[in-house]
Amino acid sequence: MKVTSKFKTIGLALALGAFSTACNQEAVNETNAEIDEAQTEVGNEAIDANNDLDEFEAWVNTNANRAETATAEEWAELRTEYERREAELETRSADWDESSRQEWEELKKDWNEMENKAQSRLGNIEDVDVDVDVERENNQ
């Protein structure tokens, strides 16, 4: 009887050990799967950021040539489109890695230089605010 009891005890101990190993292995597998999924999501976000940035950079470069010869109306349209696209990307830039942010800042700097050239060629093409005209008339 004692021998049978010892075999049962050893069997139970082995069964518990097998279950705990199986549970631990399952937990490890689930954790690894979650880590892989998170890394994939981060990788996809970085790819999306780079794609958006590359697309915008291509747009800026394409329109840089147009800006050198654009009329005031054409330049105003380009500028409006730039500001719209910039606002979209600016909201997403908080999630970007340092490299993408640096590239983004360089792109904005390049656009600013191009904008300065266009404004020096075309003059100040800002819309005149009606309030400014009213104030000028009142001062005269």
Structure confidence by residue, pLDDT tens digits, 72-118: 888 888 889 989 989 988 888 878 888 888 888 898 898 888 888 88
Please say if the pLDDT value at position 126 is more than 50.
Answer: yes
Residue 84 is predicted with a pLDDT of 92
Kindly state whether residue 131 falls inside one of the protein's structural domains. no
- Which residue bears the tokens 């600013």? 112
Task: Give me the number of domains the chain comprises.
Answer: 1
**Contacts of 119 by beta carbon, 8 Å cutoff, 6+ apart:** 125
Kindly state whether residue 42 falls inside one of the protein's structural domains. yes
Separation between Cα atoms, residue 77 and residue 9, nearest integer Å: 83
Q: Report residue 19 as tokens.
A: 């279950």
Q: Give the domain extent around 105.
A: 2-125
Nearest-CA neighbor of 86 among 66, 68, 112? Answer: 112
Kindly state whether residue 52 falls inside one of the protein's structural domains. yes
Structure confidence by residue, pLDDT tens digits, 7-30: 778 887 777 777 676 666 776 677
Kindly state whether residue 61 falls inside one of the protein's structural domains. yes
